[in-house]
């Protein structure tokens, strides 16, 4: 799939609803935003992921998208772009922001606002080792196949919860990151 086809599929379809996770009574979600970076190589697209640094308090070592907490009066889109620049050095001016997917609530109390953006293959990546231990990409076509996107139902606090996971080579993409990918693939399929 090329960028023009991806853009038309993403922009012309109604946004697929995210999995709704109801938080326990009294739990206020922490607001965060991520960028789902789609790297344009001309003849194909790849999804860029980060692996979180092992010393981080939340989700150490997990595969994720660049992102984090929404600061003060910052918009979710601005937070996603700022965090992308802080974590992997990609300047906001090089990202073609296409739009937002539905927010996703995590079991750990975060509401994630996912934003989809195209990056040129020439974008310079400079990892901040305080935040990220590695960056890698996966062909977008890998995720288009439903056979590569898995879910299991697990009990959590007496309720069944869907856990999304997507093994790719030696990586395990799971949790909110996998749920966001699943939502994007349903959107463009």
DSSP one-letter string for 10-58: HHHSPPPPPPP-PPPTTPPPEEEEEEEEEEE-SS-EEEEEEEE-TT-SS
User: What residue segments make up the domains of the chain, in order of their start?
Assistant: 3-188
Structure tokens at 100: 């937002």
pLDDT < 70 positions in the chain: 12-27, 29, 58-60, 156-157, 159
CA atoms of 9 and 13, how far apart (whole Å)? 6
CA atoms of 94 and 38, how far apart (whole Å)? 12
- How many helices, marked H, and strands, marked E, lie in the chain? 4, 11
In 3-state terms, what secondary structure has residue 167? strand
* DSSP tag of 91: -
Bridge partners of 154, per DSSP, are 161
Overall residue count recorded for the chain in this entry: 189
Containing H/E element for 151? Answer: strand 150-156
pLDDT of residue 64: 92
pLDDT of residue 21: 53
Domain 3-188, classified CATH 3.90.79.10, yes or no: yes
The answer for residues whose C-beta is within 8 angstroms of residue 176's C-beta and 6 or more apart is 64, 104, 106, 110, 112
CA atoms of 147 and 110, how far apart (whole Å)? 28
The answer for residues whose C-beta is within 8 angstroms of residue 182's C-beta and 6 or more apart is 149, 151, 164
pLDDT of residue 22: 56
pLDDT of residue 157: 67
pLDDT of residue 103: 87
């Amino acid at each position: 799939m090329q960028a023009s086809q991806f853009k038309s599929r993403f922009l012309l379809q109604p946004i697929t609803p995210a999995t709704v996770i109801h938080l326990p009574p009294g739990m206020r979600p922490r607001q965060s935003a991520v960028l789902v970076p789609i790297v344009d190589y001309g003849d194909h697209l790849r999804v860029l992921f980060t692996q979180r640094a092992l010393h981080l308090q939340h989700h150490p070592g997990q595969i994720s998208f660049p992102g984090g907490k929404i600061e003060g009066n910052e918009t979710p889109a601005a937070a996603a772009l700022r965090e992308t620049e802080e974590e992997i050095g990609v300047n906001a001016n090089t990202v073609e922001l296409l739009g937002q997917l539905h927010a996703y609530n995590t079991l750990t109390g975060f509401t994630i606002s996912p934003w989809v953006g195209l990056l040129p293959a020439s974008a310079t990546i400079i990892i901040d080792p305080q935040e990220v231990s590695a960056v890698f990409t996966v062909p977008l076509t890998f995720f288009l196949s439903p056979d590569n996107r898995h879910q299991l139902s697990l009990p959590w606090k007496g309720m069944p919860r869907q856990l999304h996971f997507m093994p790719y080579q030696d990586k395990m993409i799971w949790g909110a990151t996998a749920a966001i990918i699943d939502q994007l693939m349903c959107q463009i399929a």
